Structure formats: C-alpha cells, structure tokens
Structure 1
Amino acid sequence: MMNWEQLLSLKRQGDKNKRLRKEQDETRLGFEVDYDRIIFSSAFRSLQDKTQVIPLSKTSFVHTRLTHSLEVSVVGRSLGRVVGKQILEKHPHLAEVYGYKFNDFGAIVAAAALAHDIGNPPFGHSGEKAIGEYFKTGSGKRYKEQITAKQYQDLIDFEGNANGFKILTESRKGIEGGLRLSYATLGAFMKYPKESLPKKPTKHIAHKKFGYFQNDVSFFKEVAEEVGLLSYKIDNEYTYSRHPLTFLIEAADDICYTIIDFEDGINLGWIEEEYALEYLIKLVKNSINTSKYNNLVTTADRLSYLRSLAINTLIQEAASVFIENEEQILSGTFDIALIDKSKYQAQINDIIKISIDKIYQSKEVTEKEIAGYEILATLLDRYCVATDNFNQDISSNYDKLILRAEGGNFDYKNEDVYTRLIGICNYVASLTDGNALMKFQKIRGLQI
C-alpha cells in the first residue's frame, strides 16, 4: 500500500537533506516552485505553436497545446484541492504531524498537469505516429538490428509522455536534473510508469503506453522509489503502480479535451449548434438554471455557460470517484480512468463520438496530419543519414551542411547508436508546427 507522506515528497534531484513540509515557506511552497519552473521553460512556451486537434489553423481561434495545458492545469488544481480536503479529513495526521494542507494537492496536480503535454511532437498525436513509423516501416527500420529490442520499441512507439519525462529531468551541461522538480510532481506526471516492453501487458490503464525511455530508466526508478510507488514483475520485467494523483491529471485532461474540443468544433461550425448544445444540456441537466440559459443571446455565451457547468459537474464527479476508491488507488489495483467509472460516462461517450466524426476525422485535420507525416519523416531522415555518415567517416558535403545547421541541437558525435537516435527524436519532437514546416521547406529548397 502506498502512503501519502511519501507520495507528497518535496525532494528534488541532488538534495542531500530531507525537505520537510512543516519547514516550507508558505509564500513560495516547493510544489508552486515546480509550476513556475515549468511555465517559464522554453519547452512549455513552444506549446503555443503546437497542434492540439486542428493543425496549423490560422483561420479561427482553436486550442493549441499551450491553451489546452493551461486549462488542464486549472481543472487539475480544482480537482486536487477538492480531493486534498477530503484526504486530510480522512488522514488528519498528514496535517497535524507533517503539516500538509489541501492546497498542496492542488499545487502538485496543477504543476504536473501543466507539463502533461510538454513532450508532445508537432502536429498532434499524428506527430508521435509519424516518428514511430519512420523507424517501424520507413528508412529508420534499418536500425532494428543495431540496438536492443527495448531501445527499438522506444523509437517505433515514440511516446510524448516519455519524451516529457526526459525534458523535465535530463541533465544538460551546467544544468543538473533538468528543471529539478519535486519528486511528488514528477511522480504524478508519470502517467504510464513502465518501459516500452512488455507492450500493454495487462488491461490496466497505466499499461496502455509507456512513460520513460531506456536511457532514463535509472532516474525514473529513483523517483518511483522515493515517492513509494509499488513495483511488481510482469513478463519478468519490473513495472510500477501509478502515483494516485496521476488519476486526477488524467481526469483533468479527459474533462478538458472532451468538452473543449467539442466547443472548438461548434465554434468552427463543424458541429451544428442546436445538436451540440442538446448534448451538453444532457450532461448538466441537474445543475442548469433554465431561465438564465434562456436569457443568453449568442451561441458563444450559451456555449460558455454550458461548458462551465459541464466542467464543474465532471470535476465533482471525478473527485467523488477518487475518494470512493482511494484504498484501491493506494494499493495499485484501481485500473481504469476516473471518468470511465463516472455516472456520466454515456453522455461523455456521445460527445466524444461526435468529436471523432466531425473534428478528429474531418478533411482539414486529415490533410494537415498527412503533411505532418511528410515533414517529420523528411527531417528525421536528413538528420539520421547525416549523423550515420559522420560516424562512418563518409560525410558528403550535404551531410556536413545539415550538421553545421543543426548539429548543436543533438549529439551526433555520440558513439552509441540509440543515444544518437533518441536525441534526434527528442529534437524533432521539440520543434513547433511552424518551425518544423520552415525547416522542411529549407531542406526541400522551397525557402532560402
């Protein structure tokens, strides 16, 4: 069974002494420092030009990864506070002996939620698939025999969550431990606390994907052990239970993309207003003020009112499911997303079904995802070929030009093939949509 005192660890990479909650400066709490470090990082800023759902949309306001992350963080903070208040009532020693407050839970969830998409490549989820497919079915499959099975799996199932863990924690010259976040925040960030193999060993929600690359295994284990995640063996490989607060981050993300992607679709005119509002009303029928709603004149105002009610309804519901299942969550046996155990699951599924049909599979999204595949495959191929040729001492003049232009962005001189490849992937994933397009156009000679 996991315990809250360990799970709420304030330790940071490189600490020699224990950080005690009672000794924290209330005006600048360690968990709030995590939030500040993330929001001021260049990786977070780049999310302003990364696709959430509708790639490269310049015609109308839609959510980017940045606005989505901010909204998930706000919802996550509320969820954390609601749950934290009830946990402290249930376990009073956390406040009386250790000094924890309910806002601490909100601060941890807000910081980890803020970073939840920080490792995602350009062009939405198709960006992850484009990187993976370059190594699985594209030119990158030539590396399969040169690296281990797990290393190859890291590449062919390239995962934004694992890349995010690398961004938050990887040491660089002069910067030890990346952003040096508290281990509680890092633990909560780790949505899938396992390696890339075995792939989906069980139906547990934590095994759906993976959470760290092969060259980050040792620090991942340090964080997991510090916060007291439970470890167990599957297929002779160690995997870990989820940090309980991860369920709240996942719920915040689920709530936001369900409601807000739907809202974007309505605002773009892709989903008929009357039809869409009817689905939202079904979700909030128990809390809607009919006379207030009927007095609203514009679609935007009606939508805003229903969205606000829907998010609040789902926050209370997710918090309630968490508290009801706290023991299972602490024992690592709770195996589905909080929203999937919600009494509103049918209404949520109806909304998601419409979003898939009208938004995620729309002509505009599909065409721009196709462009994203071509752009990322081209960049990966140019960087990988130039790096390979350098290490085989057969660089062409073109290879030298590519490395002169980009070589400072990844370690092309490293003797280890996997380290070179994951470094290139990390760099390509760090590009914004616009940046990736510009580099592609330059490589193709379309822009000078």
Structure 2
Amino acid sequence: MMNWEQLLSLKRFGDKNKRLRKEQNETRLGFEVDYDRIIFSSAFRSLQDKTQVIPLSKTDFVHTRLTHSLEVSVVGRSLGRLAGQKILEKHPHLNTIHGYQMNDFGAIVAAAALAHDIGNPPFGHSGEKAIGEYFSLGNGIRFKEKLSAKEYEDLIKFEGNANGFKILTENRPGIEGGLRLSYATLGAFTKYPKESLPYKPSRNIGDKKFGIFQTEKHIFEDISKELGLKKIRTGENIAFARHPLAFLVEAADDICYTIIDFEDGINLGLIDEEYALEYLIKLVKNSINTSKYNSLTTTADRLSYLRALAINTLITEAVELFLKNEEAILAGEFHHSLFDKSSYEAQIKDIIKISVERIYQSEEVINKEIAGYKMLSHLLETYTQAFLPDENTPDSNFNKLVRRSVPKLVLPEGQSLYTSLIQICSFTASLTDGNTVASFNKYKGNNI
C-alpha cells in the first residue's frame, strides 16, 4: 500500500538531506517553485506555437498547446485542492504531524498538469507518428540491428510523455537533474510509469502507453523508490503503479480537451452552434439554471456559460470518483481513468465522437498533418545523415552546414548510438510548428 507521506515528497535531484514540509517557507512552497520553473522554461514557452487542435491556425479562437496547458493546470489545481481537503480530513496526521496543507495537493497537480504536454512534438499526434515511423518504415530502419529491443521500441513508438519526462529530468552540461522538480510533481506527471516493452501488456490504464525512455530509466527508479510507488513488474521490465495524483492530472486533461476542443470546433464553424449547445446541455442538465441560460442573448455567451458549468460538473465528479476509489488507488489496484467510471460517460463519448468527426478528421487538420508528417520525416533524415553518417560514406559539405545550423544539437563523443538517436528525436520534437516549416524550407533550399 502506498502512503501519502512518501507520495508528497519534496525531494529534488541531488538532495542530500530530507526536505520536511513543516520547514518550508510558506511564502514560496517547494511545490509552487515547481510551477515557476516550468513556466520559465524554454520548453514550456515553445508550446505557444504547437498544435492543440488546428495546426498553424491563424485564428485567435483556437487553443495552442500553451493555452491548453494553462487551462489544464487551472482545472488540475481545483481538483487537487478539493481532493486534498478530503484526504487531510481522512488522514489528519499529514497536517498535524507533517504540516501538509490542502493547497499542497493543488500545487502538485497544477505543476504536473502545466507540464503534461511539454514533450509533445510539433503537429500533435501526427508528429509522434512521423518520428516513430521514420524508424519503423523509413530510412531510420537502418539503425535497428545496432539497438536493443527496448531501445528500438523507444524510437518506433516515440512517445511525447516519455520525452516530457526526459525534458524535466535530463542532465545537461552545467545543468544537473533538468528542472530539478520535486519528486512528488514528477510522480504526478508520469501517467505511464513503465518502459516501452512489453507493449500494452494489460488493460491497466498505466500500460496504455509508456512514460520512460531507456535514457531516464535509472532516474525514474530513484524517484519511484523515494515516492514508494508500488512495483507491478520486476526484473528486466520495470513498471509501477501510478502516483495517485496522476489520476487527477489525467482527469484535468480529459476535462479540458473534451469541452474546450469542442468549443474550438464551434468557434471555427466546424460544428453547428445550436446542435453543439444541445450536447453541452445534456451534460449539465442537472445543474443548469434555466432562467439564467435563457436570459443570455448571444450564442457566445450561452456557450461560455455551458462550458464553465460543464467543467465545474466534471471537476466535482472527478473528485468524488477519486475519493471513492482512494484505497484502491493507493493499493495500485485501480486500473481505469477516473472518467471511465463517470456517470456522464455517454455524454462525454458523444461530445468526443463529434469532435473526432468534425474537428480532428476535418480536411484542414488532415491536410496540415500530412504536411507536418512529411516535414518531420525529412528533418529526421537530414539530422541523422548529418550527425550519424554512414562510416563508409564521405562527410559532405551539406552535412557540415546542417551541423552548424543547429548549435543546440551537440552529440558528445563516445555516447551510444541509442542516446544520440533519442537526442536527435528529442531535439526534433522540441521544434515548434513554425520552426519545423522554416527548417524544412531551409534544408530543401526553398528560402532563396
């Protein structure tokens, strides 16, 4: 059974002494420092030019990964505080002996939620597929025989969640431990606390994807030991039960993309307004103030009211589900997302179905994802040829120029092929949508 005292660890990479909650400076708590470090990171800033729904959209209606992440963080903070209040009532020693407050839970979930998309490549999930398929179907397949099964799986199933953990924790020259976030926040961030293999070994929600590259495996093992995460696989294939607060981070993301992507679709004219409002009304029918709703004269105001009510409705239910299943979650025996158990499951599925049909599969999105896919594949080919040329092929002047054009991408001498490939993939994933277009045009000679 996992316990909250360990799960709320303030430890950071490199700490020699235990950080005690009672000794924290109340004006700037450790968990709040996590939030600040993420906000000021260059990886977070780059999310302002990364796809949430519509790639390279020029409309001010549409959410970017940055605005989406900020909203998920706000929802996550509410979820954490509401759950934290009840957890402290149930486990009073956390407050009376250790000094934890309700807001600590909110701060951890808010920081983890803020970072939840920090490792995502440009062009959304199409970007992940482009990176993965370069190694499974493209010219990157030439590296397969030189890698272990897990190393190759990390590449062909390139995962934004694992890349996010890498960004938050990786050692760089002069920067040990990445952003040096608290282990509690890193635990809550990791929705899939497993390696890439075995691939989807169970129906456990934590096995749906993977969250750790081989390059950061030892780091996560240290974090999981400090947090007391339950091991669910041992030996060569490590996997752990989720940190309980990861369920709230996931719920915050589910709430925002379900409701707000739907709202983006309405504002872009991809979903009929009146038709869409009916679906939102079904979700909030138990809490809607009919007279107030009918007093709103514009569709925009009605949409805004229903959106706020829908988010509040889902926050309340997510907290109820979390508290109801707290013991199973602490035992590592809760294997679903919170909303898999939602009484609003039918309404949520209806909204997501419309979003998929009208937004995610719209011609505009598909056309831009196709372009993004081809551009990322070309960039990976360019970078791997320049930085990891075939030993039997003379180094070309073009490759030398490419290396000079990306001073941030430095591969130390003597590091393994796998580490270099992951580094190239992580660099490519760090590009914004606009950077990707500009880099592609540069290497294709389209800028003159």
Q: Is the 8 A contact 1:201 1:234 kept in 2?
A: no
Deviation readout 1:190-229 (Å, 9 max, x if unpaired): 1100000000010000000000111111011000110110
Code of the aligned partner of 2:217 = V
Q: Is the 8 A contact 1:109 1:188 kept in 2?
A: yes
Match of 2:301? 301
Match of 2:341? 341
Q: Map 1:5-154 to 2 at 5 A.
A: 5-154=5-154
Q: Which moved further from structure 2: 236-245 or 326-335? A: 236-245
- Displacement of 1:317: 0.2
- Displacement of 1:391: 6.0
Deviation readout 1:54-97 (Å, 9 max, x if unpaired): 10011442000000000000000000000000000000110111
Match of 1:409? 409
- Displacement of 1:384: 0.3
Q: Which moved further from structure 2: 275-284 or 230-239? A: 230-239
Code of the aligned partner of 2:322 = F
Code of the aligned partner of 2:177 = G
Deviation readout 1:247-295 (Å, 9 max, x if unpaired): 0000000000000000000001110011100000000011111111111
SS for the counterpart of 1:209 is coil
Task: Flag structure 2 segments of 5+ consecutive residues without an equivalent.
Answer: none
Match of 2:352? 352
Separation of aligned partners in 2, 1:42 and 1:391: 35
Match of 2:442? 442
Separation of aligned partners in 1, 2:412 and 2:174: 20
- Displacement of 1:236: 5.8
Q: Which runs of 4+ in 1 moved over 6 A?
A: none
Separation of aligned partners in 2, 1:46 and 1:346: 35
- Asked if 1:380 corresponds to 2:380, the answer is yes
SS for the counterpart of 1:165 is helix
Separation of aligned partners in 1, 2:235 and 2:199: 10
Code of the aligned partner of 2:219 = F
Match of 1:266? 266
Deviation readout 1:88-121 (Å, 9 max, x if unpaired): 0000110111000111000000000000000000
Q: Is the 8 A contact 1:30 1:182 kept in 2?
A: yes
Separation of aligned partners in 2, 1:139 and 1:234: 35
Deviation readout 1:372-421 (Å, 9 max, x if unpaired): 10110000000001122276672111111111112542417444111111
Q: Is the 8 A contact 1:128 1:160 kept in 2?
A: yes
Separation of aligned partners in 1, 2:254 and 2:446: 40
SS for the counterpart of 1:333 is coil
Separation of aligned partners in 1, 2:32 and 2:60: 34
SS for the counterpart of 1:409 is coil
RMSD: 1.2
Deviation readout 1:282-326 (Å, 9 max, x if unpaired): 000111111111111111111110000000000000000000000
Match of 1:231? 231
Code of the aligned partner of 2:122 = P
**Pair 391,212 (structure 1): closer, same or farther in 2 beyond 3 Å:** farther
Q: Which moved further from structure 2: 85-94 or 413-422? A: 413-422
Q: Is the 8 A contact 1:198 1:235 kept in 2?
A: no
Separation of aligned partners in 2, 1:248 and 1:410: 37
**Pair 414,443 (structure 1): closer, same or farther in 2 beyond 3 Å:** farther
SS for the counterpart of 2:406 is helix
Separation of aligned partners in 2, 1:87 and 1:389: 55
Q: Which moved further from structure 2: 74-83 or 297-306? A: 297-306
Code of the aligned partner of 1:251 = A
**Pair 392,414 (structure 1): closer, same or farther in 2 beyond 3 Å:** farther
Match of 1:173? 173
Separation of aligned partners in 2, 1:393 and 1:406: 22
Separation of aligned partners in 1, 2:236 and 2:336: 23
Q: Is the 8 A contact 1:150 1:197 kept in 2?
A: yes
Q: Is the 8 A contact 1:410 1:420 kept in 2?
A: no
TM-score by length of 2: 0.98
Separation of aligned partners in 1, 2:407 and 2:416: 16
Q: Is the 8 A contact 1:55 1:365 kept in 2?
A: yes
Code of the aligned partner of 1:27 = T
Code of the aligned partner of 1:188 = A
Match of 2:211? 211
Separation of aligned partners in 2, 1:365 and 1:358: 10
Separation of aligned partners in 2, 1:341 and 1:268: 31
Code of the aligned partner of 2:52 = Q
SS for the counterpart of 1:237 is coil
TM-score by length of 1: 0.98
